[in-house]
Chain A
Amino acid sequence: EVQLVESGGVVVQPGGSLRLSCAASGFTFDDYAMHWVRQAPGKGLEWVSLISWDGGSTYYADSVKGRFTISRDNSKNSLYLQMNSLRAEDTALYYCAKGFHYYDSSGYYQYYFDYWGQGTLVTVSS
C-alpha cells in the first residue's frame, strides 16, 4: 500500500524558513517523480514543485520560484521542501504527491498525481 506521510508544518513568522519532509513507502520511490501541492485554507489546489526520479531536474510554480527548493533522498525514501522568505500567502496545507508521468500517443509528455499524503499545515503569521 502506497503511503506518503508529511511532517514539519508549524507556525512561522513572515520572512522565516521551514523544511517540510515526506516519508514514502509502498512503492519503489526512486522510480517516480514527486510533487508538492498546496491548498490555502478554504481554497483550491495549487501545484508548487516537481522533482524528477533522480533529483536531476526540478521545477517550480512562479509563486515560489527563488524561495522554495525541492529535494529528495532516495536512500531514505524521502522528499523535502525547503521554504525560505515565507509570506502570509504561503499559508496552506502542503501535500506530498506521487507523480505518474507518461507520453500519450501523440508524444505529449503528461502527468497526474496518483497518490497524496494527508498534508502538513504551514501557517505564516506574526
Chain B
Amino acid sequence: QSVLTQPPSVSGAPGQRVTISCTGSSSNIGARYDVHWYQQLPGTAPKLLIYGNSNRPSGVPDRFSGSKSGTSASLAITGLQAEDEADYYCQSYDSSLSGPVFGGGTKLTVL
C-alpha cells in the first residue's frame, strides 16, 4: 500500500489529453511538500518529468504539465503520442515517515 495513491492505469487515443492523479495526506502533499513526477518507459530507469509541482526539466515537452491543490496533485499529458506509453510515478516527502514517498505508479496505455 503506497502512501501516495495513483490510479493503476489510464488510457487515451493519440492526440487526446489524459490526467493522472496523485492523492496524499496532511503529512505529505497537504503539508506543503512539493510533488515530483517520473516517467519510466518499458525496460528503462525512471526519468524526472516534473519537479516542484509544475516545472519541466530541460528537454521535457510542454505537452506534460503538473499541478497541485490541497492534498492532491495531477499530471496532464496533452496531444498523446505512442511514445508516451509508460509508467508514471508521483513523489513527495512525508513528515511522519521522515523520508520521500512514491505513488504506486500509473500505467499509461496509448490506444
Q: Interface residues of B toward A: which range?
A: 20 to 34
- How many residue pairs bridge A and B at CB < 8 Å? 62
The residues in A between 21 and 53 inclusive whose CB is less than 8 angstroms from any CB of B are 37, 44-47, 50
Question: B24: CB under 8 A from chain A?
Answer: no
| Selected contact of A95 from candidates B46, B97, B104, CB within 8 Å | B46
Q: Once the chains bind, are B89 and A45 in contact (CB under 8 Å)?
A: yes
Cβ–Cβ < 8 Å partners of B97 in chain A: 62
Q: Once the chains bind, are A100 and B51 in contact (CB under 8 Å)?
A: yes
> In the bound complex, how far is the Cα of B39 from the Cα of A39, in angstroms?
14
> In the bound complex, how far is the Cα of B44 from the Cα of A108, in angstroms?
32
Cβ–Cβ < 8 Å partners of A100 in chain B: 51
Cβ–Cβ < 8 Å partners of A119 in chain B: 45
Question: B85: CB under 8 A from chain A?
Answer: no
Shortest beta-carbon distance from A38 to chain B in Å: 11
Question: A61: CB under 8 A from chain B?
Answer: yes
The residues in B between 1 and 54 inclusive whose CB is less than 8 angstroms from any CB of A are 2, 32-34, 36, 38, 44-48, 51-52
The residues in A between 75 and 115 inclusive whose CB is less than 8 angstroms from any CB of B are 95, 100, 104, 106, 108, 110-115
Cβ–Cβ < 8 Å partners of B46 in chain A: 37, 45, 95, 113, 116
Q: Once the chains bind, are A59 and B99 in contact (CB under 8 Å)?
A: yes
- Would you give the 0/1 interface string for A45-77, flagging 1 where the beta carbon is closer than 8 Å to chain B? 111001000000001011000000000000000
Question: B74: CB under 8 A from chain A?
Answer: no
| Selected contact of B32 from candidates A106, A116, A118, CB within 8 Å | A106
Q: Once the chains bind, are A44 and B99 in contact (CB under 8 Å)?
A: no
Question: B61: CB under 8 A from chain A?
Answer: no
Question: A9: CB under 8 A from chain B?
Answer: no
Q: Once the chains bind, are A112 and B99 in contact (CB under 8 Å)?
A: no
Question: B100: CB under 8 A from chain A?
Answer: yes
Q: Once the chains bind, are B45 and A45 in contact (CB under 8 Å)?
A: no
Q: Interface of A with B (CB < 8 Å)? A: 37, 44-47, 50, 59, 61-62, 95, 100, 104, 106, 108, 110-119
| 17 other A-B residue contacts (CB within 8 Å) besides A111-B93, A119-B45 | A44-B102, A44-B103, A44-B104, A45-B91, A47-B101, A47-B102, A61-B99, A62-B97, A95-B46, A100-B51, A108-B32, A110-B34, A110-B52, A112-B34, A112-B51, A113-B38, A116-B46
